[in-house]
Chains A and B, each alone.
Chain A
Amino acid sequence: QSVLTQPPSVSGAPGQRVTISCTGTTSNFGGVYDVHWYQQLPGTAPRLLIYGNNNRPSGVPDRFSGSKSGTSASLAITGLQAEDEADYYCQSYDNSLSTWVFGGGTKLTVL
């Protein structure tokens, strides 16, 4: 069971907006730490999608955005495209465990 909780799956039609939630605790991003998001396309390595709660690395489309409020974080994807079909992971640091932690991952299906 992951320290950060994500829904196993979400889906949406092309062009729609979807959100992926990530629930933490005050020991990780609900406290002083940030939350980060990664995208893993089928058969490929993960790539950084959002860092520091809501920042996009260069090359990441502005259709992707992140937010955080208390012990909840969200990744939003607008204008959904077929190429967005992937697994998405949230990540933070947990000071009660003294480890870097990931959510269990959410599989996004584009209908």
Chain B
Amino acid sequence: EVQLLESGGGLVQPGGSLRLSCAASGFTFITYAMSWVRQAPGKGLEWVSSISGTGVNPYYADSVKGRFTISRDNSRNTLYLQMTSLRAEDTARYYCARVTGSVWYFEIWGQGTLVTVSS
């Protein structure tokens, strides 16, 4: 069974840092691009970042560019999102998603991990 399990969320002060992890199982991890999508409380979905299967090509939304870094460890079947200079507007549930298709869409989703940025 394909599974994605996020972890690492929590309460952090503005300006702080946090690293999210997404443990993948049930598929050949390196053959899939992966993404992070977030959802602020009571709001819609917002694409955050994506990375190719080999990890060579990262992509970022303008709202997080320069502050967030996506990476992956294919030997550990794990996706990461390093978040720095966090702002109140980064408060959201962060979902890990497996990407597929010729122009990527989000095929499989994890349950998400909640990040709260507040003093």
A: residues with CB less than 8 A from B are: 2, 33-34, 36, 38, 40, 44-48, 51-52, 57, 87, 89, 91, 93, 98-105
Contacts and interface: CB of A to CB of B under 8 A. Distances in A.
Interface of B: 35, 37, 44-47, 50, 59, 61-62, 95, 101, 103-112
Contacts of B105: 34, 36, 48, 51-52, 91
Contacts of A48: 105-109
Question: SS class of chain A's interface: helix, strand, loop or mixed?
Answer: strand
A19 to B, nearest CB: 19
Nearest to A33: B103
Contacts of A99: 47, 59, 61-62
Shortest beta-carbon contacts, A-B, top 4: A100-B47, A105-B44, A36-B105, A102-B45
